[in-house]
Each structure stands twice: as structure tokens, then as C-alpha cells.
Amino acid sequence: MHFITSMKNRLSINTIIERINAFGPDMGGVLSFADLWNLLGLKSSDRVAKVVDRLMREKVLFKIQRNVYATKNPDLWILASRLKKGSYISMDSVLAKNALIGTIPTYTVSSVYAGAGRKTVETPFGSLRYFSIKKDLIFGISRLKNGVEVADSEKAYLDLLYFYMKGARYVIDPQRDVSLWKLDLKKLKKYLKAYKNPKFVSFVEGLIREIA
């Protein structure tokens, strides 16, 4: 079967797969419908949709949500960021990456965003957990080269405790399993001043006394 790109040029399914395999890693294995349209070079969205349907049947692409697709084994940090604009990777995901806690399940990512509501998005590749926080509590974040926004270790730790007090549960114990000595105490105390909940502030201060 061939997919027509013009009267003079035909694009085979194998060529399409080769293009996706070549281009996909640059996108972290996460592609929007617009990305695929540009990649395939087709003039009609209907034709693109037919090709995408075929690629999903071939299990070359997997639909995550409307207009968002992934190749096999996508970068879950990139996927989490693409699904929720304005979110940043935090908590156990960052602490594990920075070796402040032991290994956590590879196929789970924790993100934070400004807004309301908490939800988990299940994908064929893992669980994406989203936690909402007040806009004025979003700080301590940097942007990676791939565009993903990530909390530093100190903010990730505070986020972990913040949502723990709100009922979130993790595979690690936030009170015992974090290597606090690796945190920047001065920065942590500076960040803590932004929190207005006395109960939370007291809780954190009690935990960090051992590194004071």
C-alpha cells in the first residue's frame, strides 16, 4: 500500500516509518498531529489522519490523547510536559533523578502545575501524575534543552512534602527516605518562607533540623 504525497511522488509505509524513527528521538518520541503532518508532507489533513490510523494499527504510533501521539518508549518527562502545558517535573521524579532517594518506578512521572485538581493520566508507557498548586508557589524551576521544565531538588522536596500532607502517597516515605544532607539548606529555608500554612512550615522545619 502506498500513500500519495503528489502526482509524481509516492511515499511508502516503510519510508514513513523510517522518517518517524529518524525524527522521533529529537522529539522525545512525542509528536503532535501537526508534527506528523509536517513530517509526512501531505497536503490534506484527511490523508494524514489515514496514515496515522495505519501507523497506529502497525503499532508504530500510539495515541495518548487527541492530537498527541507517541512512538515506542517515549521520554515520559517530555510526554508529561506536552500533555499539560505549564507543568513542571517535580517530587519523587526529580529526587530520584538527582539521587536523593532510591529508585522509584521508572514508568511513573510526577508533575506540578498552577490550577485546580489532581489527576493521573494512564498511558501505554506509564502513569503521569499531575498535582495542582497555587501560582505563587511555583518557583525554583529551570528549563532543560528539550523544553521540559524541572524543579530543583529543594523545590521538589517541598512539593513532595506539600502534597504528602494533602494525602498524596508515594512508593517512598517522604519523612525517612530522602537524603536531606544533599539539599541546600539555605535555599530550602528561603523557599519555605513562601509557604503561608503554619502547619506545613512547622512540619518541614521539624524534618530539616537534622541538617541545620
Q: Which among 182, 127, 183, 129 has a CA at the least distance from the CA of 155?
A: 183
The answer to pTM > 0.75 is yes
Question: What whole-number distance in Å separates Cα of residue 84 and Cα of residue 205?
Answer: 32
Residue 22: the pLDDT is 85
Per-residue pLDDT for the chain (212 aa), expressed as one digit of tens each? 333 333 334 568 888 888 888 888 889 999 999 999 988 888 889 989 999 999 999 999 999 999 999 999 899 999 999 999 999 999 999 999 999 998 777 789 999 999 888 999 999 999 999 999 999 999 999 999 999 999 999 999 999 999 999 999 999 999 999 999 999 999 999 999 999 999 999 999 999 987 76
Residue 56: the pLDDT is 95
Q: Which domains does the chain have, with CATH numbers?
A: 2-70 (1.10.10), 76-211 (no CATH)
Centroid of chain to Cα 16: 27
Residue 210: the pLDDT is 73
Q: Which among 176, 181, 203 has a CA at the least distance from the CA of 192?
A: 203
CA distances from 205 to 44, 45, 101, 176, 210 (A): 59, 56, 19, 14, 10
